[in-house]
Amino acid sequence: MRWECSRGIPASVGSTLARLNDDRQPKLSAELGELGLIERLTTRFGPAPAGETWAGDDAAVVRCPAETLLFATDLLVEGVDFDLGWCSGADVGWKAIAANVSDLAAMGGRPSAAVVAVGLGTGPSPALVDGLAEGMASASKRWHLGLVGGDLSGSGEVSVSVAMIGAPGPGGPVYRSGARPGDAICVTGALGGATEGLRLLRAGARGSDDPATARLIRRQLRPAARLDEGTALGGAGVSSMIDVSDGLLADLGHLLDASAAGCDLLPTAIPVDPDLVAVTERWPESRPGPANGAGAEPLTSALTGGEDFELLFTIEEGRLAELGPLVEAGVSRIGTVTRGGRFVGRRAFEEWEQQGWDHLRPR
């Protein structure tokens, strides 16, 4: 697909954006124009490999990475998924790519190519446009995929939509629906860091010199999709998998719904991000209060906080030993799939899961 400016606005993006006023930053000039704006973006994404065509034609021409394709899409919208008051265009661009890479990782696959559609909002500055391109280019390089084209348009707010294709691993796609009673429930990494990072940003902590604070904020702004782990887990024969984007319990609920199963989780086995307690003491105003019912314990953040982009999976009990290297790298066994209800310790699962992230609710 060529990079193009949408025809659904009254004039070309170049001239339209030039008329939009924002006293805080310089604007993209009318002289830059549509082609200049497109070139400003695409020069950051590198040339197409031999035999492929990326930006510059009516559709991209790419090699099919496999007979069976994985295809994912994700949309980030200003005011719902991010706030430009505390994140940069580069943060938004990175996260838009990372969210899709995480979806493919959760299927045990690897990304190959992506197209992106950007709504530029009201009066975008050169810094915003350059930042979006920089973030997407950096993330694409990090996960070895081609950003092959897209679309630009004026809009009421900034939005970034990415569509990505990839290939499943040698064992084929890993689905949510394969969990069976008796399977172990496991998760990579630590949980709760990204949602705490969001609270810290809202509390005005960006730029803090505290290492733990800075790391939690980075987990929110620059998530690290578990691509290599997803490929390895798919090859190890996990029975089901999903990424933790909406929150551990919300996403486990999606997996268990697809598998028609229940679970028993051990609260003390949940891998809470180790920086949460220290940061809570330094930034108490970042903690949720009783008004939103979320509680103040780090465990609450780990169970219900979204956007950690860790991988949640199930595997036959007898195959746990095959995960040796992955366990050493940070995989935790947190519970067991059952035929009955869904519990975290003695507390009913349903008491917790409504606190997970819902993209149709404001943050």
- pLDDT-above-90 percentage for the chain: 59
Question: How much is the pLDDT for 22?
Answer: 40
Residue where a domain terminates, one of 146, 168, 190: 168
Q: What pLDDT sits at residue 258?
A: 97
Higher per-residue confidence, 135 vs 357: 135
d(CA 146, CA 54): 9
How far apart, in whole angstroms, are the C-alpha atoms of residue 137 and residue 146? 9
221 CB-near residues (< 8 Å, 6+ apart): 87, 91, 94, 95, 197, 201
Position 146 scores a pLDDT of: 94
Q: What is the mean pLDDT of the chain?
A: 83
For residue 196, what are the CA distances in angstroms to 49, 78, 201, 277, 306? Answer: 41, 19, 9, 10, 10
pLDDT in tens, 202-257: 989 999 999 999 999 999 999 999 999 999 999 999 999 999 999 999 999 999 99
Q: How many domains, in total, are found in the chain?
A: 2
Residues of the domain holding 91: 4-168
Residue 34 has pLDDT above 80, yes or no: no
Q: Which residue has the higher pLDDT, 102 or 354?
A: 102
Lowest mean pLDDT among 20-29, 154-163, 206-215, 269-278: 20-29
pLDDT digits (tens, 9 = 90+) for 158-182: 999 999 999 999 889 999 999 999 9
CATH code (residue 335): 3.90.650.10
Shared domain for 87 and 209, answered yes or no, is no
Query: Do 187 and 220 belong to one domain?
Result: yes
Final residue of a structural domain among 152, 168, 184:
168
Whether 220 is covered by a domain: the verdict is yes
160 and 223 share a domain? Answer: no
* pLDDT of 24 higher than 60: no
User: Which SS3 state, helix, strand or coil, does residue 264 take?
Assistant: strand
Token pair of 226 as six digits = 């578990």
Final residue of a domain: which of 168, 195, 217? 168
What is the structure's pLDDT at 45?
A: 67
In a domain, 56, yes or no: yes
Structure confidence at residue 32 as a pLDDT band (50, 70, 90)? low
